Structure 1
Amino acid sequence: MFPPLSAKIAFCVLAIVVDAATARAQVPYADDLKFFENKIRPVLVKHCYACHSQDAKEVGGKLLLDTRAGLRKGGESGPALVEGEPEESLLVQALLYDDLQMPPEEPLPEAIINDVKEWIRRGAPDPRQPKKVVRQRDGSTVVSDEALWSLRPRLNPAVPEVQTAEWCRDPLDRFVLARIEAANLKPAGDAEPAKLVRRLYFDLLGLPPTKTEVDQFVADHQRRGAVAVSALVDQLLTSPQFGERWGRFWLDFARYGESNGNDGLGRNPTFPHAWRYRDYVIAAFNADTPYDRFLTEQIAGDLLPSDSPEQQDRQRVATGFLALGSKPAKAMNTNFEMDVVADQIDVIGRGILGLSVACARCHDHKFDPIPTRDYYALAGIFTSTETLWGTAAHEGLTAPATDLHVLQAAPHVTPPEGFVETVLVLESNTGRPKTPPKSKWKSGTPLAMGVRDRAKPADTKVNVKGEMSKLGEVVPRGFLSACELSENIEVDPTQSGRLQLSQWITHRDHPLTARVMVNRIWQQLFGTGIVATPDDFGVYGERPTHPELLDHLATRFVSGGWSVKQMVRSIVLSRTYQLASDADAKLIEADPQNRLLARHARRRLEAEMLRDSMLLVSGQLQLVPGEGSLVRHRDILVNLAGSLHQASSHRSIYLCYLRSSPPPELAAFDLPDFTTVIGQRDVSMVPSQALHLFNNPFVIDQAGHFARLVTNETASPEGRVRIVWEWAFGREPSPAEIEKALELVRVTEVELSDREKAWASLCQAVLITNEFRYVD
């Protein structure tokens, strides 16, 4: 608990927070859009569209929930929602089974209902527009060409002519400026060098620059202008911190986690070998592994030739991409194997291709042109693949080795089943743990998660309504029929088909792969993608704001050797990226959602960047990579082990990412649960975040370390305030800020009778300001 603070202290803290902030308080529209896409749209599709969509055989109550207009118009009972008022909305009343009952089978979980309430409280932001979906005589659906934009062949559009050509620094700028000029608007001015350097450091490294680095860049920019920016970008791209920043974004939709999560029986066993995949991803981004090769290794690395044992190990570790998913309980689950396959198809579909292929498991996709046969053509590839929990790596593996241990847990616990080589041991029925058998692996044997081909690959049968017990026709292994390539790729009948799948996905003519990835890169640099629904390029996903720009970038990406670093470099050196986030009222009024890209968007730091920044300014951050995993010697059930989270001064990507038990330093700031593909995190503003910043031991500890560093630098109170501002914000404090900061220190010292805590209070106040937590 904090000691009681006087109103004067509270006022001083508030004054510093407000004075240091330059961001507008309102939540950007893009954040609400993310909430809808991640929390609301999937629920509507899964639980509502069968009866309340244009594709339903009979629309229940004349209520259509598959468009924004239909939801607001309502049905026989009236409008389904009242924007901003969840308690008055019929939709919420129906979900709560208050007179109306939706869905009729059983109520939805409380967490989902709370999400719907929060969405309506935000004003029910909804980007959906009606699409042309036509039912055929045979019952299948056909979508208009307009809706199938993402499956059209990728083009290389001509760079448009613009009125102010000298404004452009990169061809991509012309695509943006053409739209701005067509709207009779002018873009914002360039970002100030001090703000631009901070933006570049965060976007490329995930860390803030020091005051010295800011000053050096500003001086260089005054001398050399754009040349200074180019030199800085090249320097940052070669930093080992680049892979840690960009690897973290990849791990989100690779659903990386170091435990299984709740499997339905209340169990959460650890994945003590998952960390090798994390390190593989970081190394791949640092080495600028071509994206087509990066995908191939993750889908079929075990099937690729290798020049050395080390390369063979790296490729096998890469296949952890397919093995890391959260597995359901096999007990009383007759669909266990196909549930695992569904997860693998989903990470390929939504993660790489931007299509919800997994929706076709039970029936032809309701909206996208993905028939059930296509789903089982892919499923045959993964039923011909074994998922390995603890695969032995080659002795030549250079990464830190881990011992194989076994589980000793309470007798009522049943560990996960269904894996070829499990590192867990069942308990006896006598109520006492069995003596663990001697491991078949020698001590120190490196282990990893991954996949391999089954001994006898084979096609699979359609599971009628998704049930393994109801089998239909055999479907030959293959790929999505709606994606046409210039050459035919067929599955090798002697293999699973994963190698051919990777060849199909990375074919230079594939309409989706490059588009999806450059959109994700753009999203990381601007906050929102050219397609605002990065995991859904289908009928009910958002259309690109700049379709020609998307194809231009995708074409450059492929022709440039699939280089992620080169694509990042091209974008950040553009005039569009380097615009200021401030703009005149006319521009904001004309384009409040910034769909024209006429200004930059101010963004809150993600949880990992906020923690890492606190460690950096407090002098505690260790930039050497974290070794292995915090759970690498613990094959246990998380829910029986107490907290496995240990204090660490390494970057946040090396923390222990347990499903259902996230790192406590990060949990308050919209950390995903890592059980499914997440291409864009939520950004919420709730009271618990403020409480976290005020009361979390990690934040308090960093403020203490920060204060000790500052007080050891100088005895001058004014000098100390200057150091605090320089280290935290990379700038000098204003006279008013110095006065307020010193007043806070004086009053707090009187209240607490402790000078050290008084300076720590100032440092904590600075660490929780908007200026520290946001980047322009």
Structure 2
Amino acid sequence: MPPKTRLKDSEIAALRRWVAEGAAWPVATGTESSRGDAADGVDEVIAPNAPELAKSLKLWLRADTLQVADGGAVVAWPDSSGRGHDLTVTKGVRKAGTGTAPQLVKKSRINGGPAVRFTHDNGLAASPDRSLGLTGDAEFTVVLVGQYVHGTSRPYENILMVGNPAHSEDPGKPLSILIELETGKKQIDLAGGFSHDASMGPGSAQVLYDQPTILIITRKKGPWTPGTRFWLNGESSRQAWGRDPVGTSVVPDVQMRPEHGVALGSPQQWAGGFRGDLAEVIVFDRVLTDRQRRGLEAELAVRHGVEMPRMYLASTREFTDNEKNYWAFRLVKSPATPKVADADRVVSPIDPFVLARLKTAGLEPSPRADRSTLIRRVTFDLTGLPPTPEQIDAFLADGRNDVEALGSVVDGLLASPRYGERWARHWLDVVRYAESTANDGNAVMRYAWRYRDYVIKSLNTDKPYSEFVIEQLAGDLLPGKTGQARVDAVVATGLLMLGPKALAETDKEQSRLDIVADQLDVTGRAFLGLTIGCARCHDHKFDSIPTVDYYSLASIFRSTEVFQDENRNATMFQEWNLEVEGLKPVMVMAPVEYRPVTLRVHRRGDRKNPGVLAPRRFLQVIAGEGHQPLRTRQSGRLELARWIASPENPLTARVLVNRVWQNHFGIGLVATSDNFGNRGELPSHPALLDWLAADFVDNGWSIKSLHRRLVLSGTYMQASRGATEAAAAARRIDPDNRLLWTMPLERLDAEALRDAVLAVSGRLDLTPGGSETGEFLYERGEVIDKKRPTFRPNRVRSDDPFYTDSRRRSVFLPVVRNAMPDILSLFDAADPNGIVTRRNDTTVPSQSLFLLNHPFVLENSQALAKRVLSAPASDDPARIALAYRLAVGRGPRPAEVKRVVEFLAAGVAGENKGTPEEKRLTAWTGFAQTLFCRNEFLYLK
């Protein structure tokens, strides 16, 4: 019956291939057919020694089983088939033997996996009395996983040999099974001796030199060439080379030589060896069925990271025009700036976009905030600390207009080390920064602090965001990095190590895949604003992210190793000594390259229920349907990072400018800052978002320039409207302030609140960075295995005195999963167990009780009292004014001074015990605590 709808392009392509191969109908018995591969690409995985193949398996050589040091001589290559067909060097062992030992290469040309590397003089052979049984008119399937090096010094290069290709005279028929390369013609042959060959013709070997390959040659009984089939990376000869093999049609009579059995390379002088790597050699004594061959290819493709063309077709997904033209997937283009009538209100290119939307809604912007409000707002926003009285006075006295005067303030704040400390905390929320692993052992990650300091340094030096992205995903792979830049780039990849880890999981592969899921989740939400992790078990329910794309990306991350060992109960994550020329070795927490891995889709998330192969590539809805998979011997992280950081990526710049906007205005232009997908909110000002994204890229991905653009806008400089009639009317039209008719009233976040208390009291320690937190947690951690002293479960509790006693900025406090201190968690600090792109904002009685009773607040209230009392002020009203200016950034009103004077007098005159000086300090301490409890201290206008 004809299809009810138009066939997909992939289905049409499959039909064309089928027709080109002769349009043979599939054979019902499952035996080999002339049509080649099926197009679905969903192969069951069949190991060489699977029950249905075991009886036919005659030889199985695996490089990954060799117990030889890297670079060591492979004197013997044991047979894993169980048949005992071990191969050994022939020189000095076999009659007339000249073959020397090849070497084991742990990171070979075959996608970085282990392989045996042969040169022309190397040769291995089995004993002549251990025949594979391939004689006479033999059927067979030979499988070679390798990559070869083209040479010209020898006309013929022997890879694998069974039988006798060097008879004394032409026997008139094939006597051997010899897989050879003719170097002059660059062709591959199944040679029988004396040109009784089945050949793929000139140029056919070129592909074997270019890439790792899975070469399968099968032969059924009867005439030599007509019964021979070549398969390259899952494709038949017609698909791979566009032709069938050519050669003799006589029936062979394979005969064994007396000197040796099956051989690789050059076992004797007359046999030309080859140059190249072999990872696996498999021989069966029959022709495998199509299903068995495909299953074996799938097994080998996954194990060796070899890409098969049919998996591109099976993994290709097609999208509708609506899906491809979704607003967030369109290329960023800078729109024209709207023309507005209120030109006097425009101080930045941002303002026309906002004013135009307000005009359409019938709303008016708020008046400009006064200078005292502006400097407090921008200082907290950029540094997380209150402005000093001296900074306030200088700004208020600046005779220039507000924009120019504020611009000078902003430049100073962005140049301060405090800026990086503040904005690093925002980024650390997103990337789930912590110093312990959570889950079972909650082990201490002793060197996680290096990543935190890297982020602070990067922000303070205004590292281009594109470079910031690349370093965190693939800094260890960047070429040309030397000295401290190399250290920083490797430390940056700590991003991939920060997530929770189930170290005691006994299924280590499952644990790795769970870590990959975490890495994909943070990559998607932090950099792309997409919930890629939702496609792990099924196609994304709302966005154009098929499951195969999830596993294509997962293949990239699975090609990186995060564990040091396979310990059953406490696998140690990667911590290693980074050695860089000219510098002392540095211990880092960072992943290491493994080898390229091609995962299969895990149906319903179950890795024991595999689906199609997922080649390493990017999101097809953005990068292109069926775009070329990665052809790199590295993991692919560097290619992924560069794709994400490209100006052509439609998401990266949009997501970043939206997140920075969110942290200045309380909510992003896209309210769901980690979800730009269909379940996220649409942008309130789409043209403004695109203008900012384009401007950001045009300014060299400079985050500091972006800050300056935002905070020097008339939109940012608006006042926060209170309970006025105008505000009430505006709220009826735009209750969530999505159109930005006012600046929101925002409570200080947990870190800013704590730091402000310390700064106002004069006790804040501004020592930057360092290893204090890592060493503190490590020393307090419990050694549960003396043989593994570096694995230490955390033993620091949330009420540890360290959190109260420390005077350092909050960003430098220990971050322990499942043990966050009350001083931070009570005021909605980010939970490091997950990605937090926007914090909750709760108001609960326990917050007020904390400010009234916690020792931290009481101690700092007394410190503020002492600071004010020791200041060179003339009288109590002057001291009161200083306290107000320190705490809330303004002088007190006369009525406030009057009330405070009365409060202090009552405190001194009261019946409390103590000397007059003690009573005075107690009274001033009480007054200082009221300042910390004021909404004006806790909230930013």
What is the aligned partner in structure 1 of residue 417 from structure 2? 240
**Aligned-partner SS, 1:596:** coil
Cα pair 2:417 2:460 within 8 Å, conserved: yes
What is the aligned partner in structure 2 of residue 690 from structure 1? 848
Q: CA deviation at 1:273?
A: 0.4
Query: 1:752 aligned to 2:912?
Result: yes
**Which runs of 5 or more residues in structure 2 are unaligned?**
1-315, 578-583, 782-791, 914-918
Q: Provide the TM-score with structure 2 as the length reference.
A: 0.60
Given the superposition, is the C-alpha separation of residues 497 and 725 from structure 1 closer, same or farther in structure 2, using an over 3 Å criterion?
same
Q: What are the equivalent positions in structure 2 for 1:494-513 lying under 5 Å apart?
A: 494-513=633-652
Matches of 2:744 and 2:501 in 1, distance apart?
38
Given the superposition, is the C-alpha separation of residues 238 and 676 from structure 1 closer, same or farther in structure 2, using an over 3 Å criterion?
same
Spell out structure 1 runs of 4+ moving beyond 4 A: 138-147, 420-423, 485-490
Cα pair 2:421 2:811 within 8 Å, conserved: yes
What is the aligned partner in structure 2 of residue 7 from structure 1? none
What is the aligned partner in structure 1 of residue 492 from structure 2? 318
Matches of 1:641 and 1:682 in 2, distance apart?
25
Matches of 1:418 and 1:144 in 2, distance apart?
46
Q: CA deviation at 1:164?
A: 1.6
**Aligned-partner SS, 1:462:** strand
Matches of 2:499 and 2:900 in 1, distance apart?
49
What is the aligned partner in structure 1 of residue 862 from structure 2? 704
Q: What are the equivalent positions in structure 2 for 1:444-523 lying under 5 Å apart?
A: 446-454=586-594, 456-484=595-623, 490-523=629-662
Q: CA deviation at 1:351?
A: 1.1
**Aligned-partner SS, 1:630:** helix
Query: 1:627 aligned to 2:770?
Result: yes
**Aligned-partner SS, 2:326:** helix
Query: 1:544 aligned to 2:683?
Result: yes
What amino acid is the match of 1:449?
A: M
What is the aligned partner in structure 2 of residue 763 from structure 1? 928
CA offsets 1:687-720 (integer angstroms, 9 cap, x no match):
1111111121111111111111111224733332
Given the superposition, is the C-alpha separation of residues 416 and 445 from structure 1 closer, same or farther in structure 2, using an over 3 Å criterion?
farther
Using CA pairs under 8 Å that are at least 6 residues apart, name the structure with larger relative contact order, 1 or 2. 1
Cα pair 2:444 2:794 within 8 Å, conserved: no
Given the superposition, is the C-alpha separation of residues 370 and 217 from structure 1 closer, same or farther in structure 2, using an over 3 Å criterion?
same
Counterpart of 1:372 (choices 538, 547, 563) is 547
Cα pair 1:330 1:418 within 8 Å, conserved: no
Q: CA deviation at 1:633?
A: 5.5
Q: What are the equivalent positions in structure 2 for 1:555-570 lying under 5 Å apart?
A: 555-570=694-709
Matches of 1:692 and 1:415 in 2, distance apart?
40
- Select the structure that is richer in helix: 1
Q: CA deviation at 1:675?
A: 1.5
Given the superposition, is the C-alpha separation of residues 176 and 336 from structure 1 closer, same or farther in structure 2, using an over 3 Å criterion?
same
What amino acid is the match of 2:526?
A: G
Matches of 2:625 and 2:381 in 1, distance apart?
37
What amino acid is the match of 1:461?
A: R
Cα pair 2:317 2:626 within 8 Å, conserved: no
Cα pair 2:531 2:675 within 8 Å, conserved: yes
What amino acid is the match of 1:766?
A: L
What is the aligned partner in structure 2 of residue 645 from structure 1? 802
Matches of 1:388 and 1:762 in 2, distance apart?
54
What is the aligned partner in structure 2 of residue 100 from structure 1? none
Q: CA deviation at 1:170?
A: 1.4
CA offsets 1:272-304 (integer angstroms, 9 cap, x no match):
100000000000000000000000000000001
Cα pair 1:260 1:269 within 8 Å, conserved: yes
What is the aligned partner in structure 1 of residue 345 from structure 2? 167
Query: 1:671 aligned to 2:671?
Result: no
Given the superposition, is the C-alpha separation of residues 633 and 655 from structure 1 closer, same or farther in structure 2, using an over 3 Å criterion?
closer
Q: CA deviation at 1:626?
A: 3.7
Identity score, percent = 42
Matches of 2:487 and 2:843 in 1, distance apart?
43
Query: 1:268 aligned to 2:442?
Result: yes
Q: CA deviation at 1:600?
A: 0.8
Matches of 2:627 and 2:321 in 1, distance apart?
25
Cα pair 2:475 2:493 within 8 Å, conserved: yes
Matches of 1:603 and 1:331 in 2, distance apart?
43
Matches of 1:286 and 1:571 in 2, distance apart?
18
Query: 1:297 aligned to 2:471?
Result: yes
**Aligned-partner SS, 2:538:** coil
Matches of 2:931 and 2:544 in 1, distance apart?
52
Query: 1:180 aligned to 2:358?
Result: yes
Matches of 2:839 and 2:406 in 1, distance apart?
29
Cα pair 1:143 1:368 within 8 Å, conserved: no
Given the superposition, is the C-alpha separation of residues 688 and 633 from structure 1 closer, same or farther in structure 2, using an over 3 Å criterion?
closer
Given the superposition, is the C-alpha separation of residues 447 and 224 from structure 1 closer, same or farther in structure 2, using an over 3 Å criterion?
same
Query: 1:417 aligned to 2:585?
Result: no
What is the aligned partner in structure 1 of residue 674 from structure 2? 535
Q: CA deviation at 1:212?
A: 2.1
Matches of 2:650 and 2:692 in 1, distance apart?
13
Counterpart of 2:430 (choices 248, 253, 256) is 253
Q: CA deviation at 1:726?
A: 1.8
What is the aligned partner in structure 2 of residue 23 from structure 1? none
Question: After the TM superposition, which of the residue ranges 466-475 and 208-217 deviates more from structure 2?
Answer: 466-475
Counterpart of 1:196 (choices 374, 380, 384) is 374
Matches of 1:738 and 1:458 in 2, distance apart?
71
- Select the structure that is richer in strand: 2
Question: After the TM superposition, which of the residue ranges 296-305 and 466-475 deviates more from structure 2?
Answer: 466-475
Q: CA deviation at 1:645?
A: 3.3
Given the superposition, is the C-alpha separation of residues 540 and 733 from structure 1 closer, same or farther in structure 2, using an over 3 Å criterion?
same
Question: After the TM superposition, which of the residue ranges 641-650 and 246-255 deviates more from structure 2?
Answer: 641-650
**Aligned-partner SS, 2:600:** strand
Matches of 1:457 and 1:298 in 2, distance apart?
19
Cα pair 2:435 2:815 within 8 Å, conserved: yes
Counterpart of 1:654 (choices 802, 812, 819) is 812
Cα pair 1:258 1:270 within 8 Å, conserved: yes
Matches of 2:697 and 2:504 in 1, distance apart?
42
**Aligned-partner SS, 2:622:** coil
What amino acid is the match of 2:912?
A: L
Counterpart of 2:730 (choices 572, 587, 598) is 587
**Aligned-partner SS, 1:482:** helix
Counterpart of 2:664 (choices 525, 549, 571) is 525
Cα pair 1:489 1:504 within 8 Å, conserved: no
What is the aligned partner in structure 1 of residue 49 from structure 2? none
What is the aligned partner in structure 1 of residue 328 from structure 2? 150
Given the superposition, is the C-alpha separation of residues 671 and 203 from structure 1 closer, same or farther in structure 2, using an over 3 Å criterion?
same
Q: CA deviation at 1:387?
A: 1.8
Matches of 1:728 and 1:146 in 2, distance apart?
52
What amino acid is the match of 2:922?
A: K
What amino acid is the match of 1:510?
A: N
What is the aligned partner in structure 2 of residue 17 from structure 1? none
What amino acid is the match of 2:939?
A: Y
Given the superposition, is the C-alpha separation of residues 141 and 563 from structure 1 closer, same or farther in structure 2, using an over 3 Å criterion?
closer
CA offsets 1:549-586 (integer angstroms, 9 cap, x no match):
00110011111111100011011111111111126233
Counterpart of 1:341 (choices 511, 516, 525) is 516
Matches of 1:644 and 1:361 in 2, distance apart?
42
Given the superposition, is the C-alpha separation of residues 634 and 199 from structure 1 closer, same or farther in structure 2, using an over 3 Å criterion?
closer
CA offsets 1:320-348 (integer angstroms, 9 cap, x no match):
01111111244355621110000000000
The two structures, once aligned, show a CA RMSD in angstroms of 2.6
Matches of 2:522 and 2:657 in 1, distance apart?
17
What is the aligned partner in structure 1 of residue 559 from structure 2? 384
Matches of 1:486 and 1:304 in 2, distance apart?
28
**Aligned-partner SS, 1:632:** helix
Given the superposition, is the C-alpha separation of residues 523 and 701 from structure 1 closer, same or farther in structure 2, using an over 3 Å criterion?
same
Query: 1:205 aligned to 2:383?
Result: yes
Q: CA deviation at 1:638?
A: 5.3
Question: After the TM superposition, which of the residue ranges 349-358 and 722-731 deviates more from structure 2?
Answer: 722-731
CA offsets 1:62-96 (integer angstroms, 9 cap, x no match):
xxxxxxxxxxxxxxxxxxxxxxxxxxxxxxxxxxx
Matches of 2:453 and 2:604 in 1, distance apart?
39
What is the aligned partner in structure 2 of residue 727 from structure 1? 886
Matches of 2:317 and 2:423 in 1, distance apart?
44
